[in-house]
């Protein structure tokens, strides 16, 4: 009887050890998969946010003048491009960064050799001064923009990690709502959400085409 009890106790202890090792192993794996967030230098200069242009472009007050700044490694849908219509979730992306930065100050970070883009805009990583929020990353993390790999980024792993999570969660630009278009009761066009010629009745793109609607020439939701 004592031998049987000892064997039972040993088996239970073995199961506990195995379970603990599995949990620790999984925790270690998850830790390795989770990229490290950047360390913020709060001793550097802060700059006032003057204006939000769109989801990835702002104006900062730097050395007494307004500087046009493009958020590095982020690409949000267009809202003010002179040659492109407003894109899906562009307005929401602009409102998101407006809520993050309106009336705020930011710290900036650059990567050597990558300070200005082809439109002569400064390329910065922005960190909100009040709490150190990594603004560029937050846009990607919440699904309002994509990771832009046009320029090398030391935060590539971080952006890629959170972009994949946003995709899997179908956040914002990754949502299935992209296939929804809008029509009016009397018009013959279908539109994307927030098109300036926006219709009032939602349909799937396939339904709209089947009913004889054609795409709006301005927002071009068929492309």
pLDDT at 28: 44
Q: Is the dihedral of CA 219, 89, 40, 44 positive or negative?
A: positive
Domains defined along the chain, listed by start: 47-173 (2.40.50.90), 177-215 (no CATH)
pLDDT at 30: 44
Nearest to 86 by CA among 94, 74, 118: 94
Per residue of the chain (223 residues), give pLDDT as tens.
Answer: 545 666 666 666 566 655 555 555 554 444 446 778 788 888 889 999 999 999 999 999 999 999 999 999 999 998 876 666 667 788 889 999 999 999 999 999 998 877 788 888 999 999 999 999 999 999 999 999 999 988 889 999 999 999 999 999 999 889 866 566 677 666 777 666 556 566 556 677 788 888 888 777 776 665 5
* Cα 36 from Cα 19, distance rounded (Å): 28
pLDDT at 62: 96
pLDDT at 15: 62
pLDDT at 35: 79
Give me the phi and psi of 147, to 5 degrees please: -75, 125
> Residue for token digits 């560029």?
136
Q: Which contacts qualify for 172-179: CB closer than 8 Å, 24 or more apart?
A: 172/89, 172/92, 172/93, 172/142, 172/143, 172/144, 173/77, 173/88, 173/89, 173/93, 173/143, 173/144, 173/145, 173/146, 174/143, 175/143, 178/88, 179/204, 179/205, 179/206
């Amino acid at each position: 009887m004592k031998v049987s009890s000892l064997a039972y106790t040993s088996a239970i202890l073995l199961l506990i050890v195995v379970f603990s090792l599995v949990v620790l192993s999984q925790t270690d794996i998850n830790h390795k998969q989770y990229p490290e967030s950047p360390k913020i230098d709060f001793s550097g200069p802060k700059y006032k946010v003057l204006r939000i242009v769109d989801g990835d472009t702002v104006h900062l007050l730097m050395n007494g003048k307004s500087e046009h700044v493009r958020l590095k490694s982020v690409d949000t849908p267009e809202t003010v491009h002179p040659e492109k219509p407003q894109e899906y979730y562009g307005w929401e992306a602009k409102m998101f960064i407006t809520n993050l930065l309106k009336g705020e100050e930011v710290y900036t970070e650059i990567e050597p050799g990558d300070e200005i883009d082809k439109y002569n805009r400064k390329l910065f990583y922005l960190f909100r001064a009040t709490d150190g929020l990594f603004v560029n990353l937050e846009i990607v993390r919440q699904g309002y923009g994509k990771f832009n790999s046009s320029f090398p980024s030391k935060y590539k792993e971080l952006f890629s990690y959170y972009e994949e999570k946003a995709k899997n969660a179908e956040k914002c630009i990754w949502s299935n709502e992209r296939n929804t278009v809008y029509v009016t009761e009397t018009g013959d066009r279908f539109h994307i959400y927030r098109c300036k010629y926006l219709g009032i009745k939602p349909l799937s793109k396939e339904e709209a085409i089947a009913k004889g609607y054609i795409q709006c020439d301005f927002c071009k939701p068929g492309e």
